[in-house]
Structure 1
Amino acid sequence: MTTTQAAVAPAPPAVGDTDGTRRRVLELVAAQGPVTAGELARTLDLTPAAVRRHLGCLEQDGTITVHDAGPAAGQARRGRPARHYVVSTAGQAELGGGYTELATQAMRFLRHAAGDSAVADFAAERNAAVVRRYAPRLTASDPHERANQLAELLTADGYAASVRPVAGPRVPTVQLCQGHCPVQHAAEEFSELCEAEARGFSELLGTHVQRLATLAGGAHACVTNIPLSPPTTAGRTGGTQEGSR
């Protein structure tokens, strides 16, 4: 499946920076996974053998794992299939830094002190702030390019986002994939965060979106289906459908 990849921060490390290169490999697996050693090698301008050494260390550490989606439809396996890697739960925690548990504790306190409605209000206000910040930067009228702009903004905020075309549907469709979520740990307990985010995507893109999978629900990426219909006025209307979590 072809991928339109948003820029991934931070910048590539200096040559010979083993720890920095390994971190870069981890970030790219989050952004592009499921991804092969060969694909990573082309992105990093390294040899496949060098990338495999980094992947082996990351797999041994438990920060990445092999993703088996089975053979492609109508294709029989020939020879040894390429290994496709995704980030594990432990790897997501490493990418997330040290404040995820604090955020979860704060939301637990909010629910205990003020109830479920306060949590929903917090998630809605957090989402509204993101919408206000992103909306002026979504300048494209073409819906595919608009989705790409959203992916770039999400990537800059640490979500390792990309836009991937979907073959087959009668209505042209793309999938917005987020290989990392800075609030995943909290979202595992507070689904209001994921629901508010999906509503924000709908507002920003001006169309119905459908959340197919989430990192918080155990998937290797958050995946949102986006039909490529032209955005409504100002790209700020449209409903949201939530897939199963």
Structure 2
Amino acid sequence: MGEADRSAAFDSVRGPAPAEEQHGTRNRVARSILDHGPSTAAELALRLELTAAAVRRHLDALVAEGVVEPRDKRIYGARGRGRPAKVFALTDCGRDAFDQAYDKLAVDALRWIAQSAGGGERGEAAVAAFARARLAAQAEGYRHAVEAAGPDRRAEALAEALSADGYAATARSAPDPRRGEQLCQHHCPVAHAAERYPQLCEAETEFFSRVLGTHVQRLATIAHGDGVCTTFIPRGEAPPTNTSQTTSAPSTSTAGRNPE
């Protein structure tokens, strides 16, 4: 156990840890929520090798600062007795503290593209074309990662590639594992721009469909106010298609709330 962890565990013996040390551990708690999605205090304590009491102190401070917020954990299937566990999710303010410093520049650039195309439907089409071209430039690396992984690890390989680009992505079984998997992006570097221009999310969903070679369904997005961008990937063994093609397997985007 590191010095910061020992400090949190033995505050009652030696007094409060220095402010810098507390701040560093608090950042680790927030970063863990960013990387893994809404989490309980117990999950954070286990993940970070801290005591539950220490994690709760840091969570209380983060809630007071508006960085995280408590929510009821969503339960699938029959609910047991007692109140559902509390999970802690990043707020918009908390996400801003990471790496969204270029949001205004991105929004300004997309607005210029839309206006230069004439606004209205033409402007929306121009933004959509830009969004697709942006992803096409990254297509080769993602395609190689998915193809090298084989059909049973396609979603996991795509999640790893997305994480390398700052999306803090994971792959997990859907509530009904027989139906498929869920690709979860716990962070979106362009979330504020996507809130104004949903074409970014739509192009990304189409891109996932082409890379994975199967129909996918967007269940939730950070841009819509959900805690995590969630994409459903059905079970199947269709090989990835050529991502340079302009057509793709049909995809569906919804504004459904995110399963936490």
Which TM bucket (shorter chain)? 0.7 to 0.9
Structure 2 Cα separation of the partners of residues 15 and 223 of structure 1: 37
Q: Please state if 1:43 is matched with 2:47.
A: yes
- The aligned amino acid for 1:151 is A
Structure 1 Cα separation of the partners of residues 76 and 179 of structure 2: 21
- The aligned amino acid for 1:194 is C
Do the aligned partners of 1:96 and 1:181 also contact (CA within 8 Å) in 2?
no
Do the aligned partners of 1:37 and 1:51 also contact (CA within 8 Å) in 2?
yes
2:113 is aligned, of 104, 110, 115, to: 110
Q: TM-score, structure 2 length as denominator?
A: 0.80
SS at match of 1:226: strand
Do the aligned partners of 1:211 and 1:223 also contact (CA within 8 Å) in 2?
yes
1:239 is aligned, of 222, 230, 250, to: 250
Do the aligned partners of 2:72 and 2:85 also contact (CA within 8 Å) in 1?
no
Residues 69-88 of structure 1: pairs in structure 2 closer than 5 A: 69=73, 73-78=77-82, 81-88=84-91
* 5+ long unaligned stretches in structure 1: 1-13
- The aligned amino acid for 1:91 is G
User: Per-residue CA shift, 1:20-45, capped at 9, x if unaligned?
Assistant: 33222112212322211111111111
Structure 2 Cα separation of the partners of residues 52 and 223 of structure 1: 27
Instruction: Supply the RMSD in Å over aligned alpha carbons.
Output: 2.1
User: What corresponds to 2:149 in structure 1?
Assistant: 140
Residues 92-241 of structure 1: pairs in structure 2 closer than 5 A: 92-114=95-117, 115-138=123-146, 139-143=148-152, 145-168=153-176, 171-232=178-239, 234=241, 238-241=249-252
Structure 1 Cα separation of the partners of residues 170 and 164 of structure 2: 12
User: What corresponds to 1:10 in structure 2?
Assistant: none
- The aligned amino acid for 1:58 is L
Closer, same or farther in 2 for the Cα pair 1:20/1:150, shift >3 Å? Answer: farther
Q: TM-score, structure 1 length as denominator?
A: 0.85
* 5+ long unaligned stretches in structure 2: 5-20, 118-122
The worse-fitting range, judged by mean Cα deviation, of 205-214 and 80-89 is: 80-89
- The aligned amino acid for 2:40 is T
Structure 1 Cα separation of the partners of residues 241 and 128 of structure 2: 25
User: What corresponds to 1:11 in structure 2?
Assistant: none
Do the aligned partners of 2:210 and 2:241 also contact (CA within 8 Å) in 1?
no
User: What corresponds to 2:120 in structure 1?
Assistant: none
For the pair shown, which has the larger CA radius of gyration, 1 or 2? 2
How many residues are paired up? 229
User: What corresponds to 1:19 in structure 2?
Assistant: 23
**Identity score, percent:** 42
Question: Offset of 1:228 from its aligned partner?
Answer: 2.0
User: What corresponds to 1:89 in structure 2?
Assistant: 92
